[in-house]
């Protein structure tokens, strides 16, 4: 029978294979009398047995399955109905429809898989038990010991469904459940903030975290428009729209914006309707006109209305000049721009004048808005002088955007202790024990450096590595005699590394 796809047990003795008519089958404390209904010489085809089995199972399922009292009977802690979830979770829908699911070796394994899916969708244990008994009914599910065993094996290590991490799916579920909800209250996932929303709201700008949630205030970036900074302290959906519009303008990823929405709602104890929540994902990119439409413009005192030169000076975080390459590395409003020094000036007839177009370009890249009005020569020179006054000067320029350089800096600052180069020359410290320092230059033995790079997953050729990190190097590798051996050492510029770490 197994060859024909039937599931059979391991019974082998004749008394269990065929119960003789007139005898009782005693099982599960029941006495079932075996009776002879008909006796003939016919041979029954396997397909006939298969059809009879299917018909019996269907009739038994219809008789024994409890009636389900409509789609609203099972609702999870987000307020989402089971029937709604089944429309987006194909696997759960199949498990609720088919007791002997082909993907599982037994109905018991399918029970456990179904319970795991229900747990993911945030149904409570009593709800899971009731759903299993309603949709996957078998006598076995009436046994409390079996239910306890099944629930104990449910996969709980994975995350449960979180609207903040999958807002599109959450909104889809809301649309399926309430396609014409309008402004009706739908408490969604805010009823239990402690379980779903991070206890400490986060500002998704890349500068600083939010703070003081108990007082419904948040710590904003120094480089945000005044209306955005003001909006952080206003417990209103319109204020949240202003912040989200700014984040969209700054290309903040969608998942980060979702986290911020949760943080803001938790900090200000807001209770949004489904339509209000949906509108948060439809805000346009930030413009002053949009803020004015929302009624949250701060007026003439807004920094967005400051002259471009004053705004650049105010929002400048750091300036580093690399003399050997002739470059200025400027960080303004969280954005970094490397500008060749020669581009700050241009020739006009017989004289050299400031190149104001460079400052227009920096302003546009940092604020995603063109300066209004464009930089005049006087304003451009004023910003240039301000940058020179606060600039750090480094002999060797640094490409701070290089991922390889970040790895090298981590190696140089964490992997070994530092010693004076004299100790190496005097053979008091072996060359592979640490890094050696002399006159602002870090010496790293070549074989040791190769091993540390391989530990970090970097197996490029020496020439390729040297080219990628040339701004960190103090010069070409140097051959030195250590005892009776000649060793090669990489040489790194300590000042360049310190400049990066300060930033």
- Residues 6 or more apart whose CB falls under 8 angstroms from that of 89 comprise 117, 121
- Sign for the pseudo-dihedral over CA of 302, 306, 311, 313: negative
| Spatial contact of 95 and 113, defined as CB atoms under 8 Å apart | yes
* Start-to-end C-alpha separation, the chain: 74
Predicted local distance difference test score (pLDDT) of residue 359: 92
Q: Tell me the torsion sign for CA atoms 228, 230, 232, 238.
A: negative
Angle subtended at Cα 192 by Cα 189 and Cα 198, rounded to the nearest 5 degrees = 85
Instruction: Name the residue among 164, 361, 131, 363 with its Cα closest to residue 258.
Output: 164
**Domain coordinates in residue numbering, the chain:** 2-64, 71-152, 176-303, 314-394, 403-502
Are β-strands 345-348 and 351-354 bridged in parallel, bridged antiparallel, or unpaired?
A: antiparallel
Longest dimension (CA), the chain: 123
Q: Which residue is listed with tokens 């020496």?
A: 462
Output the six-digit token pair for 247.
């984040």
The CA-CA-CA angle for residues 449, 432, 481, to 5°, reads 95
Whole-angstrom distance, CA of residue 252 vs CA of residue 275: 23
Rounded Cα gap, residues 424 and 430, in angstroms = 7
DSSP result, 378-429: HHHHHHHHHHHHH-EEESS---TT-HHHHHHHHHHHHSSEEEEHHHHHTTSS
- Calculate the alpha carbon distances from 206 to 203, 209, 222 in Å: 8, 8, 11
Query: What integer pLDDT is reported at residue 319 of this predicted model?
Result: 87
Asked if the bond preceding 373 is cis, omega within 30° of 0, the reply is: yes
**CA atoms of 221 and 125, how far apart (whole Å):** 44
In whole angstroms, give the CA distance from residue 155 to residue 133: 20
Residue holding tokens 């149904």?
123
Identify which of 70, 59, 246, 277 has the alpha carbon closest to the alpha carbon of residue 170.
277
Q: What angle do CA 302, 318, 503 make, to 5 degrees?
A: 120
Q: Report the C-alpha gap between 264 and 277 in whole angstroms.
A: 12
Which class for 501: exposed (0-12), middle (13-18), buried (19 or more C-beta within 10 A)? exposed
Who contacts 389 (Cβ-Cβ below 8 Å, separation ≥6)?
Answer: none
What pLDDT, on the 0 to 100 scale, is given for residue 27? 64
Number of Cβ within a 10 Å radius of residue 198: 13
Q: For residue 313, which of 356, 359, 364 has the smallest C-alpha distance?
A: 359
Dihedral angle computed from the Cα positions of residues 412, 415, 416 and 421, in that order, rounded to the nearest 10 degrees: -20
Tokens of 86: 């089944």
* Tens digit of each residue's pLDDT, the chain (503 residues): 666 666 666 665 666 667 778 887 776 566 778 888 877 777 777 777 778 877 777 766 555 554 444 445 788 887 888 988 999 998 999 999 888 888 888 888 899 889 888 988 888 888 889 999 889 888 888 888 888 888 887 755 456 887 766 777 777 787 787 765 433 333 343 333 333 333 333 333 333 333 333 333 344 444 577 788 888 888 999 999 999 998 887 778 888 888 888 888 888 888 888 778 888 888 998 888 888 888 888 776 676 777 888 888 878 888 888 776 778 888 887 788 888 888 888 887 778 888 999 999 888 888 777 888 899 989 998 899 888 888 887 754 444 445 677 788 878 887 788 888 888 888 888 888 889 988 889 999 998 988 888 888 787 778 888 877 777 888 888 888 888 888 899 998 888 887 777 65
**Which residues, including other chains, have CB under 8 Å from residue 302's CB and lie 6 or more apart?**
225, 226, 227
Q: How many CB atoms lie within 10 A of CB 407?
A: 16
Task: Give Cα 126 to chain centroid, integer Å.
Answer: 32
CB 117 within 8 A of CB 91: yes
Under 8 Å between Cβ of 337 and 315: no
The two three-digit tokens of residue 135, written as one number: 């949709």
Sequential DSSP letters for 349-360:
TTEEEE-HHHHH
């Amino acid at each position: 029978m197994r060859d024909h796809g039937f599931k059979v047990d391991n019974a082998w003795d004749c008394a269990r294979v065929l119960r003789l008519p007139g005898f009782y089958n005693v099982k599960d404390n029941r006495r079932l009398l075996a009776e002879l209904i008909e006796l003939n010489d016919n041979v029954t085809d396997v397909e006939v047995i298969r059809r009879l089995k299917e018909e019996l199972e269907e009739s038994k399922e219809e008789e024994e399955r409890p009636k389900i009292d409509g789609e609203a009977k099972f609702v999870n802690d987000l307020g989402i109905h089971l029937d709604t979830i089944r429309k987006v979770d194909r696997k759960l829908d199949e498990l609720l429809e088919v007791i002997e699911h082909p993907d599982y070796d037994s109905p018991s394994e399918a029970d456990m898989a179904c319970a795991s899916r229900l747990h993911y969708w945030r149904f409570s244990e009593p709800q899971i038990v009731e759903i299993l008994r309603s949709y996957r009914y078998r006598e076995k599910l009436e046994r409390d010991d079996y239910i306890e065993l099944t629930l104990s094996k449910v996969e709980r290590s994975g995350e449960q469904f979180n609207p903040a991490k999958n807002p599109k799916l959450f909104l889809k579920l809301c649309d399926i459940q309430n396609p014409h909800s309008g402004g009706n209250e739908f408490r969604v996932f805010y009823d239990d903030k402690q379980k779903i929303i991070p206890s400490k709201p986060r500002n998704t700008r890349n500068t600083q975290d939010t703070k003081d949630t108990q007082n419904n205030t948040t710590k904003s970036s120094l480089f945000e428009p005044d209306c955005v900074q003001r909006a952080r302290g206003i417990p209103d959906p319109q204020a949240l729209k202003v912040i989200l519009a700014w984040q969209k303008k700054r290309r903040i990823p969608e998942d980060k914006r979702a986290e911020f929405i949760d943080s803001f709602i938790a900090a200000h104890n807001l209770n949004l309707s489904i339509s209000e929540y949906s509108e948060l994902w439809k805000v346009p990119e930030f413009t002053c006109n949009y803020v004015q439409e929302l009624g949250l413009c701060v007026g003439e005192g807004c920094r967005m209305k400051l002259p471009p030169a004053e705004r650049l000076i105010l929002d400048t975080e750091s300036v580093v000049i690399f003399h050997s390459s002739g470059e200025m590395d400027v960080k303004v409003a969280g954005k970094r721009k490397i500008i060749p020094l020669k581009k700050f000036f241009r020739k006009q007839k017989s004289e050299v004048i400031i190149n104001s177009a460079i400052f227009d370009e920096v302003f546009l890249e940092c604020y995603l808005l063109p300066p209004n009005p464009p930089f005049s020569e006087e304003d451009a020179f004023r910003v240039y002088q301000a940058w020179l006054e606060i600039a750090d000067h480094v002999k060797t320029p640094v490409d701070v955007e290089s991922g390889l350089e970040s790895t090298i800096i981590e190696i140089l600052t964490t992997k070994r202790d530092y010693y004076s180069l004299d100790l190496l020359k005097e053979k008091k410290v072996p060359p592979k024990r640490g890094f050696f320092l002399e006159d602002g230059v870090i010496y790293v033995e070549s074989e040791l450096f190769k091993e540390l790079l391989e530990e970090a997953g970097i197996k490029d050729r020496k020439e390729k590595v040297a080219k990628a990190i040339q701004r960190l190097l103090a010069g070409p590798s140097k051959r030195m005699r250590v005892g009776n051996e000649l060793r090669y050492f990489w040489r790194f510029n300590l000042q360049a590394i310190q400049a990066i770490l300060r930033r």
